[in-house]
Amino acid sequence: MAVRACGLIIYRRLQPAPRSKVADSIEYLLLQTSYGTHHWTPPKGHVDPGEDDLQTAFRETQEEAGLQASQLTLVEGYRKELHYPAHGKPKTVVYWLAEVKDCNTEIKLSEEHQAFQWLKLEDACKLAEYEDMQAMLKEAHHFLCAKE
């Protein structure tokens, strides 16, 4: 059976400059792991016994980025699963999309991560080295832009 983890693609909206596109005001939060190859990822982690997937996604976001559920708005209608081998076992990660209500909210990392960045889509895709993660970020971005 696959290891199961859940997380949130966190984004913020900066005050758009006059005549700029909404899409250009969106930035995604990526965390750099302090383990392994120090890859960049949205907050996510393993599902605890008795927890449902969405509870896990919010708990992990609170633990790994210091963001409380009350500081976030979950985006209805977006959910994505990634499947990849991790440490020799199949892993499934379920992601939702959530906006930080206040774009200046402080990010507080746990020991699991050593850095964070808010990034425009193109830069987020450069840091997110895995193709499925890049595709997910692009898909999430198009989803948000289509809602405007």
- Told to check if 61 binds ligand AMP by CB under 6 A, we report no
**Residues 77-116 contacting ligand AMP, CB under 6 A:** 82, 84, 86, 91
Tokens representing 87? 């440490």
- Shortest CA distance to 13 belongs to which of 95, 88, 98, 94? 98
Closer to ligand AMP by Cβ: residue 7 or 62: 7
- Structure token digits, residue 73: 């708005």
Q: Which is nearer to ligand AMP, 21 or 38 (CB)?
A: 38
Binding mask 33-52 for ligand AMP (x = CB under 6 A): ---xx-x-x-----------
Question: Among positive and negative, which fits the CA dihedral 136, 94, 119, 101?
Answer: positive
Residue with tokens 């210091």: 66
Name the residue nearer to ligand AMP (CB basis): 36 or 50.
36
Q: How far is the CB of 54 from ligand AMP (least distance, A)?
A: 18
What's the min distance (Å) between Cβ of 141 and ligand AMP?
Answer: 17
- Binding to ligand AMP (CB under 6 A): which residues in 127-146? 130, 132-133
Going by their DSSP bridges, the two strands 26-33 and 44-46 should be labelled as unpaired
Nearest to 61 by CA among 75, 51, 72: 72
Measured distance CA(122)–CA(117) in Å, rounded = 13
CB 32 within 8 A of CB 116: yes
Which residues make up the interface to ligand AMP (CB under 6 A)?
36-37, 39, 41, 82, 84, 86, 91, 130, 132-133
